[in-house]
Structure 1
Amino acid sequence: MRVISGARILSGAVMFALLVSCGGGGAGSTPGSTPDLTVRMRIGEPQNLLIPGNTKETEGDEVLAALFTPLVGYDEDKRPVEKAAESITSSDNRVWRITLKPGFTWHNGEPVVAQNYVDAWNYVANQEHAQAGNHFFSRILGYSALNPGRGERPVTDRLRGLRVIDDRTFEVTLAEPFSQFKAMLGYTAFYPLPKAAFGPDGKITPEYGRQPIGQGLFKMDRPYRKGVDETIDLSVHEGHPGPKPKFRRLQFRVYQSLEKAYEDLLEGRIDIMDQLPVSVLGSARARLGERFIDLPDAGIGYIGTPLKYNKVYSDPRVRKAISMAIDRKSIAEEVFYGSRVPADDFINPAIEGYRQGVCGEPCTYDPAKARQLYHEANGPKKIELGYNSDGGHREWVEAVGEDLRRNLSVEVTVRAFPKFGTILDQLDANKYGGLFRMGWVIDYPSAENYLTPVFSTAAIAHGQNFGGYSNKRFDELIKKGDAARTPEEGLKYYQMADDILIQDMPYIPVYFYRLNAAYSHRVKNVQINLRNHVDWLSVEPA
């Protein structure tokens, strides 16, 4: 799902247990009690109101993950395992039956029922509501009726493929078989919504977006006023079935500066940072010791090209030349102090389907050949390169800019946007036509998830294809992979689609992420799961 707003990544092959003891029990705790502790985590400002179906970036997603429990999570082998669901079954990969676990209640005390999922999915799938997660429902039967296109209005407000059987069971019929549908259901867009989310007009209310009612471990204590409040305050939802967190309150603190957040971490004013400023990576390990986290991850950092909006980048030779002009090894080793890995595929090594070195020449640093190819293709004499200044990207994006100046003999302007959401908004609105810094965190563990949401034609209108790339053959191969009877068969088609991306270079893969995070002396046993969410059940007072 998710576009990465800062220099952060999700854990790749496993859930990483960072089992580090930092001292005695929490202040004021007694055996069998929950310490009266507030755990404080740094985030950037969420792009939108806190509505699951309209959240496509990591900041809001982290908050929502504390408020909701997904239908599935993932085990150490990256297989989906039931969480809010009791069972998810299908005999043909097309008709799926989902049965909910008993005992889940909304934060307002109402029971969670199957209709809550159907109502939420119908809402997000309807083009009239302009939800960022709309495209995730494109596989469900009846999606086209809810999405007739610009200038047309849907003739229905329900997906034909959704049917409530009873309070705990609903059925999902896909337009075509998709063997990985169960794996998708851990993503944010598939969270349910309570009746209280909707106003008299049937739309999600702004009040709900400021203070969502979920069915997860935590509930919101007060509304969050985006752009005004510096904290998002949560407390434990006592009605949640199963284990409870080992602390009472969770506070997300909104920072515009990673450097300021890191200073506060060192001073004990916040407890968890899941991304660190690039400027401190060289010293953080020595300064923090065992509280510094550096582990492999499944994210990818790109330079995006605005193919739909700026024709100067339409020739794939121009994009290939730009790629070959970037010294990935130096960026990974010198800018990131070895905390990144040069990218050589559009699929990350943490996920099955990655092929080492498959990118070949387009991802190989060759300044002379890059310059020759760029000028043969009549590449632009001036390049604008944008990034968000709140996410720790300045150093590496400026390094890319310097590579392009030196190796392509062009004028490069590196442009800082104040917030990540600003870049997304301007790309969505077709107001920015330069190269742009992008990153991708998987929504679910599949090679397909590196391809469809970012590069398919459908994702231009209903996904994260911000560059506007479109290739008919790519779309056809994705469709064949989706319809394959087994994941192994499907992977062959996904890799063929990956080969087309390497040929076309719609985005330029620069590096594979590693998890660079840290925590304070006040907490221990920090774990980060496959979707880059903190596992709040594992966190303990130190």
Structure 2
Amino acid sequence: MKVRKAVLAGLAATAVASLVLAGCSSSDDTDSTPSSSAATSGDAMASGGVIRTNGSEPENPLIPTATNETGGGKILDAMFAGLVYYDGTGAAHNDLAESITQVDPTSYEIKIKPDQTFTNGEPVVASSFVDAWNYGALASNAQNSSYFFEDIEGFSYEEDSELTGLTVVDDLTFDVKLNKEASDFPLRLGYSAFYPLPASAFEDMDAFGANPVGNGPYMLAGPDAWQHDVQIELVTNPDYTGERQPANDGLTIVFYATQDAAYADLLAGQVDVIDGIPDSSLQTYEADLGDRAVNQPAAIFQSFTIPQSLAHFEGEEGKLRRQALSMAINRDEITDVIFNGTRTPASDFTSPVIDGWSDSLDGAEVLAYNPDEAVKLWAEADAMSPWEGTFQIAYNADGGHDAWVDAVNNSIKNTLGIEASGNPYPTFGEFRTDVTDRTIDTAFRTGWQADYPGLFNFLGPLYATNAGSNDGDYSNADFDALLQQGNTAADAATANGFYQDAQEILLQDLPAIPLWYSNVNGGYAEGVNNVQFGWNSVPLYYEITKG
């Protein structure tokens, strides 16, 4: 007789027990704001209970499994309801799930709540999840978040293969069979890759991505609600029955060109809440806003990545140069001068607000400023193949990254005596296109805003072989094996031990150069109430009121 174990009820107490209030889909645009400006006016603010906030033009069509950056993720999380949602502290709660029951170490039975609908009237049933996950997993669909289905039986990176581990039992029940144990699988189910889709989406996925039909607290205000490079307008969904009931009348996300523009509009009362403060205002915004200023830890990690195939960065020479570059960066000075203490120098690849984080990993000294050792290692690499040219870090100029990129490059230049500079792209979309297409020929800024509150989420999606957000194409079999051991561990503490061991490999290989952990710095306008920023730095928009 199989022992059946109820999972979700105790999830918050185990996987997120020590979480401190503090991240997207996952995204590597975590420090950025917006890709294009939007005109604001007094008329726009006359919408009463409609909350205006900052955002960025989505990189891709608004299909849950196609989206792995914060601009699109913020919108999808407002428009869709999954099996699970995360509250402000990162604790997991059932949303559409009636129950998530572990049948054996690799099998789950999922029951969804009855009488749920999409905003076009279609019912949300078991096949809404199964069909959506199968679409996201198919290799030919090339979805950015396909990696999240890797642990389900039948998944393949190489060819189209149905997820044979998914079985519809009845309209409200489906079973999940994993190909290996994944200790945090239930915790993952609040991430957007696991959202359901209506049957009509599969008739024309391109059309759906342009005008998505969700089932969450908000929905598109109309067929022209998404004004590209300007804003997107959402209204409340009267048929949503979950716990994230909106206390306002809607949400307008404005795609600003710069953080400075968003902050100026906040001071002028033209926007209600923003989740980014420009570098130029970090020293003054708390005085400007008083108790309406927000400065709290968040599950955000910043880095830059050097592609594995870049000249001088392959093999042993590449390892030496990565370590030298890391030790040439004065993180303490940069976080103090550029960010006014709103960033903390990184000591690992995750976030201090996540259960299992450690600041005492073996090899973490490579993240400390050590100019003498940096020069020594760079010289050892030069003995293998002399350096030539300029070291560059690419970034999107619309995201407020100029100052820190310049500071990092100046630190490298002054320490190693080489030419170093930034390589700005006008917009986040242009930047991400070259990263995704692997046409970028320099190092580039990266980062991660957690999808769900677990150490694995900072490691697997970014550095596991073939992972969807592994933009540097890193691969290490020993690292992959430790991730798998963590996934099959009996409890969270044991799993976190394996994830810490895996990070010690990363500290040797440095597939990305960790820089700092970010606080969320934001604020809200006068007359705006009930503002809470969540563990992942995103405001809980459904709670906000004004007037």
Q: Normalised by the size of structure 2, how large is the TM-score? A: 0.88
**Counterpart-to-counterpart distance in 2, 1:353 and 1:208:** 39
State yes or no: 1:278 paired with 2:290.
no
SS of equivalent residue, structure 1 residue 390:
helix
The one-character-per-residue Cα deviations of 1:173-221 (angstroms, maximum 9, x if unpaired) are: 000111210001010100000012122xxxx432211111000011102
Task: List aligned pairs for 1:11-410, cutoff 5 A.
Answer: 36-74=48-86, 78-144=90-156, 147=157, 149=158, 153-154=159-160, 156=161, 158-199=162-203, 204-223=204-223, 228-242=228-242, 244-312=245-313, 314=315, 315-358=318-361, 359-378=363-382, 380-381=387-388, 382-410=390-418
The answer (yes or no) to whether the contact 2:226–2:233 under 8 Å persists in 1 is no
The answer (yes or no) to whether the contact 1:386–1:435 under 8 Å persists in 2 is yes
**Counterpart-to-counterpart distance in 1, 2:469 and 2:311:** 18
Aligned to 2:443: 435
User: C-alpha displacement at 1:227, in angstroms?
Assistant: 7.7
Q: CA distance change for structure 1 residues 475 and 538 in 2, over 3 Å: closer, same or farther?
A: same
**Counterpart-to-counterpart distance in 1, 2:146 and 2:124:** 22
- Counterpart code for 1:268: G
- Counterpart code for 2:392: E
- Counterpart code for 2:236: V
Structure 2 gap segments, 5+ residues each: 1-24, 34-44
Between 261-270 and 242-251, the greater mean CA deviation after superposition: 242-251
- Counterpart code for 2:499: Y
SS of equivalent residue, structure 1 residue 337:
coil
Aligned to 2:6: none
**Counterpart-to-counterpart distance in 2, 1:257 and 1:450:** 27
The answer (yes or no) to whether the contact 1:139–1:175 under 8 Å persists in 2 is yes
**Counterpart-to-counterpart distance in 2, 1:484 and 1:427:** 34
**Counterpart-to-counterpart distance in 2, 1:229 and 1:486:** 45
Q: CA distance change for structure 1 residues 74 and 37 in 2, over 3 Å: closer, same or farther?
A: closer
The answer (yes or no) to whether the contact 2:320–2:381 under 8 Å persists in 1 is yes
User: C-alpha displacement at 1:538, in angstroms?
Assistant: 1.5
Q: Normalised by the size of structure 1, how large is the TM-score? A: 0.89
The answer (yes or no) to whether the contact 1:454–1:465 under 8 Å persists in 2 is yes
User: C-alpha displacement at 1:245, in angstroms?
Assistant: 1.7
Aligned to 2:489: 484
User: C-alpha displacement at 1:294, in angstroms?
Assistant: 0.3
User: C-alpha displacement at 1:111, in angstroms?
Assistant: 1.7
Task: List aligned pairs for 1:473-512, cutoff 5 A.
Answer: 473-512=478-517
SS of equivalent residue, structure 1 residue 177:
coil
- Counterpart code for 2:380: E
SS of equivalent residue, structure 1 residue 141:
coil
**Counterpart-to-counterpart distance in 2, 1:319 and 1:227:** 42
Q: CA distance change for structure 1 residues 176 and 439 in 2, over 3 Å: closer, same or farther?
A: same
Structure 1 gap segments, 5+ residues each: 10-26, 29-34
**Counterpart-to-counterpart distance in 1, 2:311 and 2:191:** 32
Between 175-184 and 72-81, the greater mean CA deviation after superposition: 72-81
User: C-alpha displacement at 1:225, in angstroms?
Assistant: 8.4
State yes or no: 1:514 paired with 2:522.
no
Q: CA distance change for structure 1 residues 227 and 79 in 2, over 3 Å: closer, same or farther?
A: closer
User: C-alpha displacement at 1:253, in angstroms?
Assistant: 0.8
User: C-alpha displacement at 1:228, in angstroms?
Assistant: 3.8
The answer (yes or no) to whether the contact 1:6–1:275 under 8 Å persists in 2 is no
User: C-alpha displacement at 1:425, in angstroms?
Assistant: 1.6
- Counterpart code for 1:41: T
The answer (yes or no) to whether the contact 1:5–1:58 under 8 Å persists in 2 is yes
The answer (yes or no) to whether the contact 2:66–2:144 under 8 Å persists in 1 is yes
The answer (yes or no) to whether the contact 2:307–2:442 under 8 Å persists in 1 is yes
- Counterpart code for 2:442: G
SS of equivalent residue, structure 2 residue 29:
coil
**Counterpart-to-counterpart distance in 2, 1:212 and 1:510:** 36
Number of paired residues? 504
SS of equivalent residue, structure 1 residue 533:
coil
User: C-alpha displacement at 1:497, in angstroms?
Assistant: 0.5
What stretches of structure 1 move > 6 A for 4+ residues in a row? none
The answer (yes or no) to whether the contact 1:303–1:509 under 8 Å persists in 2 is yes
SS of equivalent residue, structure 2 residue 280:
helix
**Counterpart-to-counterpart distance in 2, 1:293 and 1:115:** 41
- Counterpart code for 1:323: S
**Counterpart-to-counterpart distance in 2, 1:316 and 1:223:** 51
Between 531-540 and 482-491, the greater mean CA deviation after superposition: 531-540
State yes or no: 1:5 paired with 2:29.
yes
- Counterpart code for 1:3: S
**Counterpart-to-counterpart distance in 1, 2:120 and 2:313:** 54
SS of equivalent residue, structure 2 residue 543:
coil
Between 240-249 and 447-456, the greater mean CA deviation after superposition: 240-249
The answer (yes or no) to whether the contact 2:294–2:523 under 8 Å persists in 1 is yes
Q: CA distance change for structure 1 residues 313 and 278 in 2, over 3 Å: closer, same or farther?
A: farther
SS of equivalent residue, structure 1 residue 238:
coil
**Counterpart-to-counterpart distance in 2, 1:364 and 1:132:** 33
**Counterpart-to-counterpart distance in 2, 1:527 and 1:45:** 23
User: C-alpha displacement at 1:341, in angstroms?
Assistant: 0.4
The answer (yes or no) to whether the contact 2:88–2:534 under 8 Å persists in 1 is no
**Counterpart-to-counterpart distance in 1, 2:85 and 2:531:** 18
**Counterpart-to-counterpart distance in 2, 1:531 and 1:67:** 18
SS of equivalent residue, structure 1 residue 171:
strand
The one-character-per-residue Cα deviations of 1:312-368 (angstroms, maximum 9, x if unpaired) are: 354211101000000000111110001000111112111122212435320111112
Q: CA distance change for structure 1 residues 366 and 227 in 2, over 3 Å: closer, same or farther?
A: farther
